[in-house]
Structure 1
Amino acid sequence: MNILLTGGTGYIGSHTAVVLSQAGHEVVLLDNFCNSSPSVLERLEKILGKALPCIEADVRETDVVEKVLREYKIDAVIHFAGLKAVSESVANPVLYYANNVQGSISLLQAMQEVDVKTLVFSSSATVYGEPQYLPYDEDHPTKPMNPYGQSKLQVEEILRDLAASDSKWRITSLRYFNPVGAHESGLIGEEPNGIPNNLMPYVVKVASGELPHLNIFGDDYETLDGTGERDYIHVMDLAEGHMAALHFQNVNAGSNVVNLGTGKSSGVLEIVKAFENITGKVIPLQFAPRRAGDLPIYFAQTGLAKEQLHWVAKRNLIEMCESSWKFQELQGHVKGESEN
């Protein structure tokens, strides 16, 4: 298949590009590099032994997207392009609706023009909101607690309506839990701009000496170690889940929603201990009060992914920590060389 990845040089997009390309698909990337670097293209070429075509553009440039779909004879689209920081979405909701909702509408308009009607959408478990029960299954009520989650849910609703209007559409919305880790080569991984919003890259930067300590917000939750527990999933498992969704869509039309997680949760101290054991580094900690809106615990019900997509997460917490550290070490070495 010829597959377009919007946001294809980003964290999840770049790993999915590797999985799809190594499986024999022709992959085309489109990105405006607002939260990624063109250097990812060179690293992808090292991993794959070939360059992937990449168009620098914003997904809201409908005419450009339409031209790319035609020129590369695209069969399916995986839509990663969008902003994803919860705190930023609270501070600037219009930015998030413009990028995530308006951007998705632009993409869909371009796809309709060229009659490309197979789409995998990068959604999020944040659409569920505060759990009424756990684990979250796909039938759990949706009540996002922030504009980021709301923007993802709005796109899901648009996709549902679109599939209902035309039986040719094949759409899967994948609700991610907490992606972590990096490719086994150490060449690509999570590279947030500025101070990380997510736990694993923050731990990595503390271990490397770039940040002084890890803030843990709340140590009095009713969890095993008193800290918030999350369902962490290796980014390579997540990437493989996208390919599984495409295979599912080859024989199933309509709109579907599927969780991608491991089905179990880990606390902050558990992550820190695993990371310390792997690296031999001590992670300095500071405990702080709970943050408003943080949930004590959440994790995925993964039965539907196994049943429909024939997919299960395979990689464990140790592999998540090891690959994250390898990526950090390699990037530190490369940056050190470039400065000499």
Structure 2
Amino acid sequence: MAILVTGGLGYIGSHTVVELLNNNFDVIIVDDLSNSEKFILNNIEEITGKKPTFYPFDLKRKELLAQVFDAHPIEGCINFAAFKAVGESQLKPIDYYENNLFSLINILQEFKSRNISNFIFSSSCTVYGQADTMPINEDTPLKAPESVYGKTKQMGEEMLRDFAKAYRRKVSLLRYFNPIGAHPSIKIGELPAGIPNNLVPYVTQTAAGIREKLSIWGNDYPTEDGTAIRDYVYVVDLAKAHVAALEKLLNNDSDEAIIDIYNLGTGKGSSVLDVVNAFEIANNVKVPYQICDRREGDITVVYANADRAENELKWKSETSLQEALRTAWEWQKYLESRIEYSKSI
């Protein structure tokens, strides 16, 4: 069965491609390599013994996307293709709206015209904004997101709801919390270009001496240690949830619209300083840091109630924070041996 994975050489996408291949799906990747590297494709093959079909182009090029659908009997899509940096989205809002929404529309146009269903959307807990109560479940009211990135995810969800209802298609909206870590093979992991926007690769680069200090954006939040709290979920656990969500859609024979929504997190919040401390313990490495002003678009506290995913998908995050951070450090050391990486930082 052929599944299109857009952004399939990116961080979460590459881990999900591995899990799909391990579960005997045929995978077609479209990735413009704007936030990924070609060597990941070979590493996926080394992990799985299988090489997915790969097309390197921007999904805004409708004519090339149509050719992919002409060439393969695609029965579903997992869409990871999006710009994803909260801070950057505040500085480049039009770029984020264009990239994240036009690419989604183009895929849905192909789904509509070819009568294809089974669409999984890489969404985010940012769609909740700063929720009033914790933990967040799927019925928590959505608020206006604090960032342009979050707005594009909320708009994407609305598009998919309307698509499913109008054309009686099956979609799954997966709201991630904060993915971290690397595959246990240490052949794929998070690969930021330039200065990282996410916490863990900034921690690993600081520990490696690439960055002088970790910048902690604010220590005056109303939390126990003053730093912001997030729900950090191991990326391989997260990838497995995509396979479970896809199989649920594929096994549903209903002719009616299906709109599944799942939070994917651990159910536990950890502060920025918790992560730094856990990293130091897991890897016996010190991480120098400095406190900076809060960053626009960040929220104070967010962590998941993932009971619905456990009940309906039989999925649960099993990997500890320290173990996930151990793999992140091993991945950092692996990257430093690569010429491609040393040129990008």
| Common topology (TM > 0.5) | yes
Which stretch has the larger CA shift, 192-201 or 135-144? Answer: 135-144
Between the aligned partners of 1:49 and 1:77, the Cα distance in structure 2 is 22
Match of 1:270 among 247, 253, 274: 274
Q: State the one-letter code of the partner of 2:328.
A: S
| C-alpha deviation, 1:93, in angstroms | 1.3
Are the counterparts in 2 of residues 181 and 323 from structure 1 also a CA contact under 8 Å? yes
**Which residue number in structure 2 is paired with residue 111 of structure 1?**
111
Between the aligned partners of 2:47 and 2:135, the Cα distance in structure 1 is 36
Are the counterparts in 1 of residues 336 and 342 from structure 2 also a CA contact under 8 Å? no
**Which residue number in structure 1 is paired with residue 332 of structure 2?**
328
Between the aligned partners of 1:289 and 1:65, the Cα distance in structure 2 is 43
**Which residue number in structure 1 is paired with residue 226 of structure 2?**
226
Which stretch has the larger CA shift, 292-301 or 317-326? Answer: 292-301
SS of the counterpart of 1:66? helix
**Which residue number in structure 2 is paired with residue 157 of structure 1?**
158
* Cα RMSD, aligned residues only: 1.7
**Which residue number in structure 2 is paired with residue 43 of structure 1?**
43
Q: State the one-letter code of the partner of 1:73.
A: P
Between the aligned partners of 2:321 and 2:179, the Cα distance in structure 1 is 11
Which stretch has the larger CA shift, 233-242 or 46-55? Answer: 46-55
SS of the counterpart of 1:187? coil
Q: State the one-letter code of the partner of 1:271.
A: V
Q: Deviations over 1:219-277 (max 9, x none)?
A: 23332332111100111011001001011112345112211111111111211111112
Normalised by the length of structure 2, the TM-score is 0.94
Q: How do residues 162-201 of structure 1 correspond to structure 2 at under 5 angstroms?
A: 162-167=163-168, 169-201=169-201
**Which residue number in structure 1 is paired with residue 305 of structure 2?**
301
Are the counterparts in 2 of residues 214 and 283 from structure 1 also a CA contact under 8 Å? yes
**Which residue number in structure 1 is paired with residue 248 of structure 2?**
248
| C-alpha deviation, 1:70, in angstroms | 3.0
| C-alpha deviation, 1:113, in angstroms | 2.3
Between the aligned partners of 2:11 and 2:181, the Cα distance in structure 1 is 10
Are the counterparts in 2 of residues 69 and 111 from structure 1 also a CA contact under 8 Å? no
Are the counterparts in 2 of residues 96 and 147 from structure 1 also a CA contact under 8 Å? yes
Structure 2 CA distance for partners of 1:336 and 1:166, relative to 1, 3 Å? closer
| C-alpha deviation, 1:337, in angstroms | 11
Q: Deviations over 1:68-94 (max 9, x none)?
A: 123121111101101111122111211
Q: Deviations over 1:121-157 (max 9, x none)?
A: 0011111111121111112222211211111111111
**Which residue number in structure 2 is paired with residue 261 of structure 1?**
265
Q: State the one-letter code of the partner of 2:289.
A: L
Are the counterparts in 1 of residues 90 and 297 from structure 2 also a CA contact under 8 Å? no
Q: State the one-letter code of the partner of 1:28.
A: I
Q: Deviations over 1:80-116 (max 9, x none)?
A: 1011111221112111111111110001011222222
Q: State the one-letter code of the partner of 2:132.
A: Q
Report sequence identity in percent: 41
Between the aligned partners of 1:130 and 1:97, the Cα distance in structure 2 is 21
Alignment of 1:314 with 2:318, yes or no, is: yes
Between the aligned partners of 1:24 and 1:61, the Cα distance in structure 2 is 29
Q: Deviations over 1:26-46 (max 9, x none)?
A: 111111111111111111121
| C-alpha deviation, 1:332, in angstroms | 1.3
Aligned residues: 338
Structure 2, gaps ≥5 residues long: none
Match of 1:291 among 285, 288, 295: 295
Between the aligned partners of 2:282 and 2:247, the Cα distance in structure 1 is 36
**Which residue number in structure 1 is paired with residue 65 of structure 2?**
65
Q: State the one-letter code of the partner of 1:75.
A: E
Are the counterparts in 2 of residues 172 and 257 from structure 1 also a CA contact under 8 Å? yes
Between the aligned partners of 2:338 and 2:59, the Cα distance in structure 1 is 31
Between the aligned partners of 2:297 and 2:99, the Cα distance in structure 1 is 23
Between the aligned partners of 1:82 and 1:37, the Cα distance in structure 2 is 15
SS of the counterpart of 1:24? coil
Structure 2 CA distance for partners of 1:293 and 1:4, relative to 1, 3 Å? closer
Structure 2 CA distance for partners of 1:269 and 1:338, relative to 1, 3 Å? closer
